[in-house]
Homo-oligomer: A and B are copies of this chain.
């Protein structure tokens, strides 16, 4: 049975995107938006890239259309295709075409996962042409005012096989995001989960302890998103250690030794039970 109050808090969480600036990312984004330049967001998983774009869209009053790249994604998934409806074929705009027509922000998350034809399709939108050729319709759709292309990727994941082509990359203005400073992160965890400041502080302290581990065997450090998930479980009445185990420790590793070491680190950092 679902708890009504948490359902309500979930709604309030999606209402107004909460974003705390760390450097000059907002100024760079706004300058790029004024000039119609595309933006490349760089940063680790769960540091708030999506939240940043949501906040920028909210502030400029533009619609945000988000698509996550994956290795089976083709250009037709972005641009659109003909579908059979009854006995007729009807063209259905893809999310990119919709964003171009409506002047929305189009956010292509994890762009390097997509197949190369999807990155090529965004080239004419990412330079002075600002237009989307729709081969299947034989037309070119000019970008409405306000259209802006944003892509993200995680530099820690790049490999020889999956990398952004230089010719794509050089069309963008880059903004690097990292995890927020401690106090900002405590505010975020409190705001997003409703836990008391002590719990938020304890979770952020643990997060930073994990991020600062020397010679860490972890692929990634504890992300802000993971701290928020742990806080959410606490807010639902689960004990802090159980929540940390479920949302942080067991997520960070499958290795028995690493899991035990992270548990000991949690014991040292978290307040005694």
Contact: A246 with B175, CB < 8 Å?
Answer: yes
A21 contacts B by Cβ under 8 Å: no
20 contacts between A and B (CB under 8 A): A2-B33, A2-B145, A7-B36, A10-B130, A32-B233, A32-B246, A35-B233, A45-B170, A68-B120, A72-B75, A72-B117, A77-B135, A86-B88, A87-B87, A113-B116, A154-B167, A171-B229, A173-B233, A174-B247, A174-B250
Residue among A69, A88, A173 facing the most chain B CB atoms (10 A cut-off) = A173
In the bound complex, what is the Cα–Cα distance between A51 and B37 (angstroms)?
18
A1 at the interface (CB under 8 A from B): yes
A190 → chain B closest CB, angstroms = 16
Residues of B within 8 Å of A223, CB to CB, are: 170
Let me know if B68 and A123 touch, CB within 8 A: yes
Residues of A within 8 A of B (CB): 1-3, 6-7, 10, 13-14, 24, 27-28, 31-37, 40, 42, 45-46, 60-61, 68-75, 77, 82-89, 92, 94-95, 110, 113, 115-117, 119-120, 123, 128-130, 135-136, 138, 145-146, 154-155, 157-158, 166-167, 169-176, 219-220, 223, 225-226, 229, 232-233, 235-238, 242-243, 246-247, 250-251, 254
Q: Nearest chain B CB to A129's CB is how many angstroms away?
A: 7
Min CB gap A183→B, angstroms: 23
Contact check, A37 vs B232: say whether CB atoms are below 8 A apart.
yes
Instruction: Give Cα A45–Cα B42 distance, bound, in whole angstroms.
Output: 21
Q: Provide the bound-state CA to CA distance between A266 and B243, in Å.
A: 41
Q: Are B170 and A28 in contact (CB under 8 A)?
A: no
The distance in angstroms between the C-alpha atoms of A68 and B132, with both chains bound, is: 13
Q: Is the CB of B82 within 8 A of A89?
A: no
A246: chain B residues at CB < 8 Å are 28, 32, 173-175
B residues within 8 A CB of A235? 35
Instruction: List residues of chain B with CB within 8 A of the CB of A128.
Output: 10, 13-14
Q: How far is the CA of A206 from the CA of B220 in the complex (A)?
A: 34
